[in-house]
Amino acid sequence: MATGNINVTAENIFPIIKKFLYSDHEIFLRELISNATDATLKLKHLSTLGEVKGDIGNPIIEIKVDKDKKEIRIIDQGIGMTGEEVEKYINQVAFSGAEEFVEKYKDKVEDSGIIGHFGLGFYSSFMVASKVEIFTKSFVEGSKAVRWECDGSPKYTLEETDKTTRGTEIVLHIDEDSLEFLEEGKITQLLNKYNKFMPIPIKFGTREESLPLPEGAAEDAKPEKITVDNIVNNPTPAWTKNPTDLSDEDYKEFYRELYPMQFEEPLFNIHLNVDYPFNLTGILYFPKLSKSVDPMKDKIQLYQNQVFVTDNVEGIVPDFLQMLRGVIDSPDIPLNVSRSYLQADGAVKKISSYITRKVADKLISLFKNDRKAFEAKWDDIKVIIEYGMLSEEKFFEKSDKFALYPTVDKEYFTFEELVEEIKPTQTDKDDKVVILYASDVKSQHSYIDAAKEKGYQVLLLDSPIVSHLIQKLEGSKENIQFVRVDADHVDNLIKKDENQISKLSDEEKETLKPIIEEAIPKETYTVQLEAMDSNANPFMITQPEFMRRMKEMQATGGGGMMG
């Protein structure tokens, strides 16, 4: 038996770490399972190189909780460690890693939102354990098993032990202030949160499973029950697979796996897969956004090598895509930095624009391949798309190929098609194409009817950000102008058909006009008796377009309308 001192300069970094990551104590389990996974993947790799003797079988990782003894065990069948390796990797690597961590981040507690996701590694076990033991046996033939023990101080014990199987067993003696982690429910919850898609099967207890009834069994026959390992994770989640190997149903199935409480099916998905200049895989879903869904829940989840990191992807995914759902897995996103740094990071910027491009490309292909189906989804996706057109220039440029402009009669035009369609009838004196739109069919129906009777197309643009989008389009497209269908100069703008006859006689108009004008505020509305030829409406009260927009701007507090 040997005892020794771990060579660290900070005598006791333990209390600092404990305090620093107080809210993140639970990550100890993720860290230890990550190490067990690394060790198992290394073994598999060495085995394929012929460096491991014999068949390694199907190694799994097991978690055991003993409430009475206040112990949690994490057991793997990976490469294990020799005594020298324990000295090197645990006493030096793990402890110096922890020390470095504290040195770097002790002053940045306010940023711990993301830094907390940065792994402390093996040392994080001391956040919940007053004593930690390691039993380990290396895969190298003839190596002796060892036991290491430490209470978080720089003192440790290392001795030979009688473990006969390959791999590592970590025993956590849970501290009095962390007893919650001995609850089965708590461990299940953590496994579900961090380890749901890790690449090595993780066993936590056993469960009963019913065998299928044999053919011709009696109607009241009870299926035979067997006890099987309770494997808590799916080691090969859909995003790690080749898109060509996945069906639509597979993608939907994975969506349900990710969001078990989500009953609405996603509209479509985007499979991300790139390995240069950064590494990223993932699947994003356009959800059917319904009012019953809490936007704070069921967000995009960020993974690193199948280990859950966070579901706050702010700064990584462009704002307009944060309403999407799904998974992004990338080892190239730096997590040991603050949010503000993250946003300025070159690799992260590239990732963000890659995702934007993939989403745009997917929308283009959906539109091209099945336009009718795309049109049917438009109402569900337009908010995200319009927001993207406003906030991401690159996305705006591509949007011409898929952004739709529906009429009040649910006919869908692209911008180009729309201009082509209305040019002959809706061009004003200055040769500008006038795009008429309504924002609300109910309150504007008489104006809509009147415009339609004249043969004009009226768009229905009713999303909350549409006035901003109109500004954006007017600013970037040549020779077009948007005019709301109830604006006063609809008829002035559009080249008049001189033969148009009003339903009212001149006399009728003379008498009517002052009466109506009396009843409404003249400063904001204009009475038009000539312009109408609809059966339903003998006259119209209109509001100048600019007045209306001014009011809208005042209401939303936005600026820049007059510029």
Binding site for ligand ADP (CB under 6 A): 31, 35-36, 39, 76, 78-81, 89-90, 93-94, 97, 121-123, 168
76 is in an annotated binding site: yes
Residue 97 near residue 106 (C-beta atoms within 8 A) = no
Distance CA 138, CA 477 (A): 68
- Choose from Mg ion, ligand ADP, none: what does 352 bind? Cβ within 5-8 Å by kind: none
Residue 345, SS3? Answer: coil
Residues engaged in binding Mg ion (CB under 5 A): 35, 121
Report the nearest approach of ligand ADP to the CB of residue 132 (Å).
Answer: 11
- Choose from Mg ion, ligand ADP, none: what does 175 bind? Cβ within 5-8 Å by kind: none
339 is in an annotated binding site: yes
Report the nearest approach of ligand ADP to the CB of residue 291 (Å).
Answer: 44
Task: Pick between residue 42 and residue 241 the one whose CB is nearest to Mg ion.
Answer: 42
97 is in an annotated binding site: yes
Task: Pick between residue 33 and residue 435 the one whose CB is nearest to Mg ion.
Answer: 33
Task: Pick between residue 121 and residue 318 the one whose CB is nearest to Mg ion.
Answer: 121
CA distances from 466 to 194, 444, 460 (A): 40, 16, 10
Task: Pick between residue 35 and residue 195 the one whose CB is nearest to ligand ADP.
Answer: 35
Report the nearest approach of ligand ADP to the CB of residue 279 (Å).
Answer: 18
CA distances from 86 to 39, 130, 369 (A): 13, 19, 58
294 is in an annotated binding site: no
Report the nearest approach of ligand ADP to the CB of residue 121 (Å).
Answer: 2
Report the nearest approach of Mg ion to the CB of residue 326 (Å).
Answer: 26
- Choose from Mg ion, ligand ADP, none: what does 204 bind? Cβ within 5-8 Å by kind: none
Rounded to the nearest angstrom, the gap between the alpha carbon of residue 312 and the centroid of all alpha carbons in its chain is: 8
Sign of the alpha-carbon dihedral angle for 348, 350, 356, 361: negative
Distance CA 364, CA 205 (A): 48
Which single residue is written with the structure tokens 């790690």?
Answer: 240
Report the nearest approach of Mg ion to the CB of residue 32 (Å).
Answer: 8
Task: Pick between residue 119 and residue 406 the one whose CB is nearest to ligand ADP.
Answer: 119
Distance CA 287, CA 267 (A): 6
What one-letter code names the amino acid at 526?
T
Report the nearest approach of ligand ADP to the CB of residue 203 (Å).
Answer: 15
Q: Report the half-sphere exposure of 26 (CA within 13 A, side-chain side).
A: 17
Task: Pick between residue 33 and residue 422 the one whose CB is nearest to ligand ADP.
Answer: 33
Other C-beta atoms closer than 10 Å to the C-beta of 25 total 18
Q: Closest CB to ligand ADP belongs to which residue?
A: 121
Task: Pick between residue 135 and residue 259 the one whose CB is nearest to ligand ADP.
Answer: 135
Report the nearest approach of ligand ADP to the CB of residue 29 (Å).
Answer: 12
Distance CA 72, CA 530 (A): 85
- Choose from Mg ion, ligand ADP, none: what does 237 bind? Cβ within 5-8 Å by kind: none
- Choose from Mg ion, ligand ADP, none: what does 97 bind? Cβ within 5-8 Å by kind: ligand ADP
392 is in an annotated binding site: no
Which residues are registered as beta bridge partners of 147?
A: 135, 159
Q: Which of 499, 502, 498 is nearest to 510 (CA)?
A: 502
Report the nearest approach of ligand ADP to the CB of residue 36 (Å).
Answer: 5
Helix 371-391 × helix 346-369 angle, to 10°: 150
- Choose from Mg ion, ligand ADP, none: what does 39 bind? Cβ within 5-8 Å by kind: ligand ADP
Q: Find the distance separating the first CA and the last CA of the chain, reported in whole Å.
A: 81
DSSP H helix total and E strand total for the chain:
17, 21
- Choose from Mg ion, ligand ADP, none: what does 94 bind? Cβ within 5-8 Å by kind: ligand ADP
Which residues are registered as beta bridge partners of 509?
A: none
Report the nearest approach of Mg ion to the CB of residue 122 (Å).
Answer: 6
549 is in an annotated binding site: no
Report the nearest approach of ligand ADP to the CB of residue 110 (Å).
Answer: 25
558 is in an annotated binding site: no
Task: Pick between residue 35 and residue 91 the one whose CB is nearest to Mg ion.
Answer: 35
Q: Closest CB to Mg ion belongs to which residue?
A: 121
Cis peptide before 277 (omega within 30 of 0): yes
- Choose from ligand ADP, Mg ion, none: what does 78 bind? Cβ within 5-8 Å by kind: ligand ADP
In this structure, are strands 480-484 and 433-438 parallel, antiparallel, or unpaired?
parallel
Distance CA 530, CA 538 (A): 9
- Choose from ligand ADP, Mg ion, none: what does 89 bind? Cβ within 5-8 Å by kind: ligand ADP
- Choose from ligand ADP, Mg ion, none: what does 76 bind? Cβ within 5-8 Å by kind: ligand ADP
Per-residue tokens: 353: 């624009």
Task: Pick between residue 88 and residue 207 the one whose CB is nearest to ligand ADP.
Answer: 88
Q: Which of 281, 229, 285 is nearest to 255 (CA)?
A: 285
DSSP 282-294: EEEEE----TTS-
Task: Pick between residue 80 and residue 116 the one whose CB is nearest to ligand ADP.
Answer: 80
- 186-208 burial, b if ≥16 CB within 10 A, otherwise e? ebeebbeebbbbbbbbbbbeeee
- Choose from ligand ADP, Mg ion, none: what does 152 bind? Cβ within 5-8 Å by kind: none
207 is in an annotated binding site: no
Task: Pick between residue 307 and residue 389 the one whose CB is nearest to ligand ADP.
Answer: 307
Residue 384 near residue 266 (C-beta atoms within 8 A) = no
Rounded to the nearest angstrom, the gap between the alpha carbon of residue 514 and the centroid of all alpha carbons in its chain is: 59
The binding site consists of 31, 35, 76, 81, 96-97, 168, 339
The binding site for ATP consists of 31, 35, 76, 81, 96-97, 168, 339
